[in-house]
Amino acid sequence: SKMTNWAFSDKYPSLAKERLSSHAFSWKRISSSDSEYSDAEGGMQSKTRSFQAKVRQGALTCFLSAVKSIEKKVLYGYWSAFISDEPGIGSPQTVSLMTIALKDPFPKTRACAFQVLSAILEGSKQFLSIAEDAIDHKRAFTPFSVSIASSIRELHRCILLALVAESSSQTLTQIIKCLANLVSNVPYNRLKPGLLSRVWNQIKPYIKHKDVNVRVSSLTLLGSIVSAQAPLPEVHLLLQQPVSLGMSDGTPALLLRSGAPEWRREPLPVSGEPSLALEKTTTEPCWLLRLCISLAVLPREDCYSDSDTSCLSTVSIYEPSPVRLEALQVLALLVKSYFILAQSFLLELGEVACKCMEEADPSLQLHGAKVSTNIHLMQICSSRSPWITCGLGQLIMWPHKIVEIFKK
């Protein structure tokens, strides 16, 4: 064969060169295709994972539609099939919705899982009201009420784990909304304290998140905590935490500002009258009270998000309207549910309400009026007279201010 090749090359040198060049070209083509094949294989795997994620998202969307259309009493018959009552996420025995929410690699799929979980929790107050922590651990069987309590604790644990691990703003919003739905329906007065404290402490950093929706949902969650079976001793203790303690856990820097605006400054006591200002300084307002007042009426110092176009113009120096509205909503709930803690600061709260009712935005006017309404209703219902604490002369001015606002 060698002789044949030599003879062929001697007789047809041009054809021999073409054959050699074609062999070399084919070798290069094969080696190049090997590299391209590995790249193509990786691309196919990525596409396959993306298609599989879309299938899971479609299944969760279908599941969400089913949850919304099924009667609650029928749906909660399958509670244990979707929500685990013991730790061990990922093992074959405990596969649940939280398995997807915690372990799926796609943020959109995790968000879909939390949407389904939130829909299941919505309106579950009556079903969850039977939950009760176990007192006697030597029972031969586990009562259904204890199983529900265990699943509630496991939900708190898993959702808080997801909250800490999540980086997607869209998924974070769904997680916090789901947590707010859980807090609104759980009978904390029948469970051992501690669950709300963990939620309270872990949500604080997200109030200054760069995304507006995350900040709004965080305030919604705080409002759910304040209104959950109020008044709860655990929440009462949390609200008594001073501003200085709250700031160490990620409170926005706007709470550190000095030099209060003119409308927030306390009047100097007249000579011969007892110094009410000195009495008030001994009672430091809670972190949540100061936070909501700052978000509602104080100018912000920096921009949290590039999406906040108001930071780039002189249109508004305040927080975005949804944040201000939610802060006012939390203030209204705080006054209604824990008036005993807010009554020492009714003058300041009243001024906040009046300032909001002077705004051009009708929504801000409405929420400011809600704060003012709750203040006056709780004054009527309270056995302790708030006039002494806050100063009769200035509180009497509120109705006149409100009348002037509505005349404009």
Q: What is the pLDDT along the chain (408 residues), one digit of tens a residue?
A: 444 444 444 544 554 444 444 444 343 444 445 555 566 666 788 889 999 999 999 999 999 999 999 999 999 999 988 888 877 654 555 678 899 999 999 999 999 999 999 999 999 999 999 999 877 666 677 889 999 999 999 999 999 999 999 999 999 999 999 999 999 999 999 999 999 999 999 999 999 999 999 999 999 999 999 999 888 999 999 998 766 554 444 444 333 333 343 333 344 444 444 333 333 433 566 789 999 999 999 988 665 554 554 444 445 788 999 999 999 999 999 999 998 888 888 888 889 999 999 888 999 999 999 998 888 888 777 654 444 344 434 444 455 555 455 455
6 assigned to some structural domain = no
Report if residue 77 sits inside a domain. yes
What pLDDT, on the 0 to 100 scale, is given for residue 20? 41
In a domain, 87, yes or no: yes
For residues 206 and 172, the answer to whether their CB atoms sit within 8 Å is yes
The whole model's pTM is what?
Answer: 0.75
Give yes or no for a contact between 286 and 242, defined as CB atoms under 8 angstroms apart: yes
Tell me the residue range of the domain where 60 lies: 56-132+145-202
Euclidean distance between CA atoms 221 and 177, whole angstroms: 7
Retrieve residue 118's tokens. Answer: 């939130």
Contact 354, 363 (CB under 8 A): no
Residue keyed to tokens 């806050």: 390
Helices (H), 166-274: 169-185, 195-203, 212-227, 233-239, 243-247
197 close to 234: Cβ distance less than 8 angstroms: yes
Residue 61 lies in a domain: yes
Q: Which residues make Cβ contacts (< 8 Å) with residue 204, sequence separation at least 6?
A: 246, 249, 250, 251
Domain assignment present for 186: yes
- CB-based contacts of 367, cutoff 8 Å, min separation 6: 325, 328, 329, 332, 356
Residue 83 lies inside a defined structural domain of this protein: yes
- Structural domain contains residue 158: yes
> How far is the first Cα of the chain from the last one, in angstroms, to the nearest whole number?
107
* 3-state DSSP assignment of residue 286: strand
**Number of structural domains found in the chain:** 1
Question: Which residue from 295, 366, 373 is spatially nearest to 327, judged by alpha carbons?
Answer: 295
Largest CA distance in the chain: 128
For residue 126, tell me if it sits in a domain.
yes
Amino acid at residue number 166 = E
How would you label 204-238 residue by residue, b for 16+ Cβ within 10 Å and e otherwise?
bebbbbebbbbbbbbbbbbbbbbbbeeebebbeeb
pLDDT at residue number 304: 54
Residue 57: φ, ψ to 5°: -65, -40
Distance CA 395, CA 199 (A): 36
